[in-house]
Amino acid sequence: MENLTEEKLFAQLQELIGNISDLDEAAMGQVQERLDSLTKPQGSLGQLEQIAKQLGGIQGTSNPQIKKKAVLLMAGDHGIAAEGVSAFPQEVTPQMVYNIMNDGAAINVLARQANADVFCTDVGVAFPIEATGNIIQKRVANGTKNMAKGPAMSRQEALQALLAGAEVAQEKIQAGYNLFATGDLGIGNTTPSSAIVSLFTNSPLEDVVGRGTGIDDAGLINKRQAIQKAIDVNQPNTEDALDVLCKVGGLEIAAIAGSILQAAASRVPIVVDGFISTAGALVAANLAPKSTAFMIPSHGSVEPGHCKALAGLGLEPVLNLNMRLGEGTGAALTFHLVEAALHILNEMSTFADAGVSEKS
């Protein structure tokens, strides 16, 4: 893929987007009929019912099933870290990649509890990473450039990272996975995410920029200033999602967007994690508006911009746990709710089965 021209990469992206179609309305109607016949007041299970209906529409059946679950975690570093926007040094990114490889991170624990597998893809870590175990190597560059001084990446690199994320999703679909979660890893990545969310939702930076890994008040002011400088220097065109992505985005954010696009094209539901993942989802939605129908929201992050990002996608979180870790942790927890929705749909008795009187 690295040898392809920008034009050929763009053609591949357009082909991928062209494969995304609408949800199956007939299947959703059948799921709704089944839900309405179950021994409960109609709609009383709220978002669980909505998830069941969505899964029916995605899979095109009144009896949707989950076979194998995977967290697709994308890792990358950020040149903007040189502006002091994070409380942690960049060396933490590769250290956490290996922590995930060794099953020691929060996402490993939560995914294991959900009976899901974790795959961590290096699309832009600034340090050497070997492809071994659950680590996938698809590096586009050794991190992004400092977006406060110019574009974070070239348009070609943005396309490569998008398609790398799509490739990972496609490989896992071919291996039998049919429910995904997004995840992220990369010191400084709330900074480009804030820029993306601010631009796509037309929100002031004061409303979207948070403390990330725990910066102090002075650090927060500096972070906002760095993002404003990046926007001023690069002048991203919000009518062109690729322009926003390459100027103020991240390689792992691009890969997250690509994994969402591939999931949508393959009719596989994908649970969107926190702030960084939702920035990637905004990129995907601006490239392919139909892709939002295949996204399942997870939790509401403490990061202030997350609610803006979710609103921009028309999504409502199913969990509020005051989390802000990333890695796909909130999405992995949401796997339990997705499966609960299917158990309700497929296992609960109808009024007729149970001999229970319906509403008069």
Q: Which residues are catalytic?
A: 327
Closest of 251, 264, 299 to residue 278, by C-alpha: 299
Structure tokens at 14: 């357009």
CA 157, CA 125: separation in Å to the nearest integer? 14
Beta-strand ranges (E) seen in the chain are 69-76, 117-124, 135-137, 179-185, 270-272, 295-297
Closest of 102, 289, 286, 258 to residue 171, by C-alpha: 258
Residue 53 CA, distance from chain mean position: 21
CA 352, CA 358: separation in Å to the nearest integer? 9
- At residue 147, what is the residue type? M
Q: How many residues does the chain have?
A: 360
CA torsion sign for 275, 276, 277, 279 is positive
